[in-house]
């Protein structure tokens, strides 16, 4: 049984590694062809909409930034966090 | 991850309605399933709440890789919550995202369908590989990659079928451009697969009972 599990796991990891390799090659090839651009510009370029160049790069924390309205994001996230805390305390996991 | 990142008005009204109606039917099936087939217990509600908060928080973060990408944790939602709860979570996350200005309201229907395919595929792949005794990390990773691949295929199909208003590109050009976009998404899927694999393996070690959504 343990041998079965180990061999199944080994095969699984091999398939996973192969998929990772294929996806990375595909991704890097697509990135090289399409060039460096933000997600909205990439979408607009893909469908043929002329970009407005609104995306700012390098802003935020170490390049990470929040999409949409940051205040609304914080409010909704805080509400969800409170809801989760209430659910956790009431029902446990 | 796959998400139709276009403004409202990109699809015609007819197609916007078509995708909304199909997604409402799909969500109706999820609700029917939860009401009549798999009853929701308190623990499932807590897990759903945690997954919703995590998916919402992560989805809005623009990661400075390849110029800017997102993760959306849909495969993790599928594996931990199952497809019916997952359907409701992706609907809520898409609505909340539109509310803060990330994605158009009209595209919620289409985006829910894309995300639902990711949830369902990851869940089924995870379960199927479990029956073949594949390790948790590998099956969560493979489930994530296949789920996100199919999500991208559905995204491409929806855009090509609907067409984009105000654009004169032929469908072949559209397919070429979107294939490049999906290709970049696939590289991001690798990162999401590694993250999902580690999270699911960790949960299996500390709380194996939480993996009921992806039971063997």
Nearest CA of chain A to the CA of B118: how many Å? 16
Of B49, B135, B184, the CB nearest to A12: B135
The pair phi, psi for residue A61, each rounded to 5°, is -95, 115
Q: What domain count does chain A have?
A: 1
Give the chain A residue nearest B164 (alpha carbons). A47
Structure tokens at A50: 């002329």
CA distance B76 to B88: 14
Of A12, A13, A68, the CB nearest to B100: A68
CA distance B70 to B165: 25
Nearest CA of chain B to the CA of A16: how many Å? 6
Residue in B168, B63, B84, B82 with CA at minimum distance from that of residue B123: B82
Q: Is there a contact between A47 and B166 if contact means CB atoms under 8 Å apart? A: no
pLDDT in tens, chain B (216 residues): 678 888 888 899 999 999 999 999 999 999 999 988 877 888 889 999 999 999 999 999 988 888 888 898 999 999 999 999 999 999 999 999 999 988 889 999 999 999 999 999 999 999 999 988 889 999 999 999 999 999 999 999 999 999 888 888 888 888 999 999 999 999 999 999 999 999 999 999 998 888 865 454
Helices (H), chain B: 13-32, 42-59, 74-81, 83-99, 108-131, 136-162, 171-206
Strand ranges in B17-170 using DSSP code E only, listed in sequence order? 61-62
Residue in B189, B156, B188, B178 with CA at minimum distance from that of residue B68: B188
- SS3 category, B75: helix
- SS3 category, B8: coil
Nearest CA of chain A to the CA of B200: how many Å? 15
Domain that holds residue A17: 1-36
Within 8 A by CB and 6+ apart from B69, the residues are A39, B62, B63, B184, B185, B188
CA distance B11 to B37: 36
Ordered structural domains, chain B, with CATH:
13-214 (1.10.1760.20)
Whether A74 is covered by a domain: the verdict is no
Whether A72 is covered by a domain: the verdict is no
Whether A15 is covered by a domain: the verdict is yes
- What residues does A64 pair with on adjacent strands? A61
Q: What is the pLDDT of residues A25-41, one digit of tens each?
A: 999 999 999 888 888 88
Are the beta carbons of B72 and B203 closer than 8 angstroms?
no
Whether A26 is covered by a domain: the verdict is yes
- SS3 category, A49: coil
From chain B residues 54-93, the ones with a CB under 8 A of any chain A CB are 56-57, 60-64, 66-70
Q: Is there a contact between B101 and A11 if contact means CB atoms under 8 Å apart? A: no
Whether A22 is covered by a domain: the verdict is yes
Contacts of residue A73 in chain B, CB cutoff 8 Å?
A: 60, 100
Whether A12 is covered by a domain: the verdict is yes
Whether A17 is covered by a domain: the verdict is yes
Mean pLDDT, chain A cut into blocks of 10 residues (93 residues total): 58 93 94 86 84 57 84 94 91 75
ipTM: 0.86
Contacts of residue A49 in chain B, CB cutoff 8 Å?
A: 6, 10, 164, 166-167
* CB pairs < 8 Å spanning A and B: 206
CA distance B38 to B192: 28
- What residues does B61 pair with on adjacent strands? A66
Are the beta carbons of B108 and B17 closer than 8 angstroms?
no
Length of chain A as a residue count:
93
The pair phi, psi for residue A58, each rounded to 5°, is 90, -5
Residue in B194, B199, B1 with CA at minimum distance from that of residue B81: B199
Length of chain B as a residue count:
216
Q: What is the pLDDT of residues B98-155, one digit of tens each?
A: 999 888 899 999 999 999 999 999 999 999 999 888 899 999 999 999 999 999 999 9
Whether A41 is covered by a domain: the verdict is no
E strand or H helix at B185: helix B171-206
Helix, strand, coil shares of chain A, percent, nearest 5, are 70, 5, 25
Nearest CA of chain A to the CA of B51: how many Å? 9
């Amino acid at each position: 049984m343990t041998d079965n599990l180990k061999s199944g796991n080994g095969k699984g990891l091999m398939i996973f590694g192969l998929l990772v390799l294929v996806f990375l090659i595909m991704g890097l090839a697509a990135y090289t062809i399409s060039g460096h651009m933000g997600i909205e510009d990439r979408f607009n370029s893909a469908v043929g909409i002329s970009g407005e160049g609104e995306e700012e790069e390098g802003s935020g924390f170490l390049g990470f930034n929040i999409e949409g309205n940051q205040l609304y994001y914080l409010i909704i996230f805080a509400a969800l966090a409170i809801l989760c805390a209430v659910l956790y305390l009431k029902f446990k996991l | 991850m796959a998400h139709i990142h276009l403004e409202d008005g990109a699809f015609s009204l007819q197609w916007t309605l078509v995708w909304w109606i199909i997604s409402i039917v799909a969500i109706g099936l999820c609700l029917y399933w939860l009401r009549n087939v798999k009853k929701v217990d308190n623990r499932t509600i807590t897990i759903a709440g945690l997954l919703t908060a995590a998916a919402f928080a992560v989805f809005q973060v623009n990661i400075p890789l390849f110029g800017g990408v997102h993760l959306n944790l849909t495969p993790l939602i599928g594996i931990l919550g199952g497809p019916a709860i997952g359907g409701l979570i992706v609907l809520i996350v898409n609505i909340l995202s539109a509310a803060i200005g990330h994605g158009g309201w009209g595209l919620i229907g289409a985006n829910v369908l894309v995300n639902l395919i990711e949830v369902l595929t990851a869940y089924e792949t995870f379960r199927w590989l479990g029956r073949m005794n594949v390790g948790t990390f590998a099956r969560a990773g493979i489930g994530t990659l296949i789920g996100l691949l199919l999500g991208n295929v559905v995204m491409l199909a929806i855009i090509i079928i609907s067409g984009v208003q105000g654009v004169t590109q032929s469908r072949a050009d559209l397919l070429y451009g979107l294939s490049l976009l999906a290709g970049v998404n696939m590289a991001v899927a690798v990162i999401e697969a590694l993250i999902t694999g580690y999270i699911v393996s960790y949960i299996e070690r500390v709380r194996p009972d939480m993996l009921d959504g992806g039971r063997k």
